[in-house]
Amino acid sequence: MKFNRFHLFRKNRLFFVILAVIWLALAAYSFYLGVYWLGALLILWGLLMPVRSRARAARSVKRHAKTNKQLNQPDEVRYRLDPERITVETVSADRTSSTELKWSAIYRVYETTDSYYIYISNIQALILPKKDIVSGSARELSQWMRDSLGKAYKVV
């Protein structure tokens, strides 16, 4: 759920603002022409449309997460990071799995105030909460990723 919110709204924030500005500019033009009812309608649409779009996307993510059994949270996820690879172990009541990824296969890493979003493609990512780091510190990991990944590492 956290990943879907981050992923959806990381890129689309500016899009919503631009659309609102366009609708409000059209409203101003309608008032200039003397078509007040249309101007009022466009103002209402320009202010409510971005809010409605974000709420609709968030509901869609919630519905998808509820119905997709593969997205259900495992009981435990362990990340092991070393200079060559990331190892992800997931443990659930009905299954256990382990995946290894080389750092060269990482698409991009975004660091937020509380987590790392390690993208393995442009639509799929691992989420590593900073509070769950048990060996080393978030500051050391950030510095290592900044040095190792270069432009693929971004702080947002």
> Looking at residue 34, what is its pLDDT?
92
- The residue written with tokens 């296969």 in the block is 105
The residue count for the chain: 156
Q: Which of 91-95, 101-105, 143-147 has the lowest mean pLDDT?
A: 91-95
pTM above threshold 0.85:
no
Residue 122 scores a pLDDT above 80: no
- The residue written with tokens 């299954």 in the block is 95
Long-range own/partner contacts, residues 16-20 (CB < 8 A, 24 or more apart)? 16/50, 16/53, 16/54, 17/50, 19/46, 19/49, 19/50, 20/46, 20/47, 20/49, 20/50
Q: Which of 14-18, 27-31, 33-37, 77-81 has the lowest mean pLDDT?
A: 14-18
Tokens of 100: 């290894």
Residue 144 scores a pLDDT above 70: yes
Residue 37 scores a pLDDT above 90: yes
Q: Are 115 and 2 in contact (CB under 8 A)?
A: yes
